[in-house]
Amino acid sequence: MAMEAETQELVTPGQVLGKASQLKAGKGAYVSTENGTVYASLTGFRSLIPPPSDSVDQRSTVEVTGHKAHGAVPQPGSIVFARVTKVMARTASADIVCVDSKSVREKFTGIIRQQDVRATEIDKVDMHLSFRPGDIIRALVLSLGDARAYYLSTAKNELGVVSAESVAGGTMVPISWTEMQCPLTGQVEPRKVAKVEA
């Protein structure tokens, strides 16, 4: 088969690779359930792998192989750890540092939207009372969003802030679902706290 002889095309995260009706998503690719489109999830070279001749499913598999040795890559459904970098009125941005307990080597940005912070009273969510820059959060990857950023959700009990530093520089201790306390000063600060498994 001359499939490797074709010029390999360099693709970037979020780039359309084809339709799920014609292609299966292999490594480095995923299917959007909303529109049935196959997208790249990492930067690398696109390649097509023909189906085995005895396969019932005669779609080719599209894969994206990294152009350099890379660590883990976020996929929809992955649990990630991320460091919050910026908090705004309706969104918070974070740098993803770990995917399913594997560290990442490329920079991946995550965005938490107001409606994805918690499961209840979504309209009352105050981003500034949920996260602060520097917080480490555990979140679920929803999808690849706009501008090469992943949409993240903390709308489950076990998701949210897992580690935070107080104004005084102490590592804060969770005291409820919505508050953490500085052990140095006793000051309580609001957060969307993740339930830590015992």
Q: 106: part of which helix (H) or strand (E)?
A: strand 102-113
Task: Count the helix, strand and coil residues of the chain and give each as a percent rounded to the nearest 5.
Answer: 5, 45, 50
What are the extents of the domains in the chain? Answer: 9-66, 78-190
Rounded CA separation 165/95 (Å): 17
pTM: 0.66
- Fill in the amino acid letter for 155: A
Q: How do residues 7-25 score in pLDDT, each as one tens digit?
A: 567 787 888 988 988 988 8
Question: How would CATH label the architecture of 9-66?
Answer: Beta Barrel (2.40)
**Mean confidence (pLDDT) of the chain:** 86
Cβ contacts of 114 within 8 Å, gap of 6 or more: 90, 91, 122, 125, 127
Q: How do residues 59-93 score in pLDDT, each as one tens digit?
A: 888 888 765 555 677 888 999 999 999 999 999 99
Query: Are 37 and 53 within 8 A, CB to CB?
Result: no
SS3 129: helix
CATH superfamily ID and name for 78-190: Nucleic acid-binding proteins (2.40.50.140)
What pLDDT does 69 receive? 53
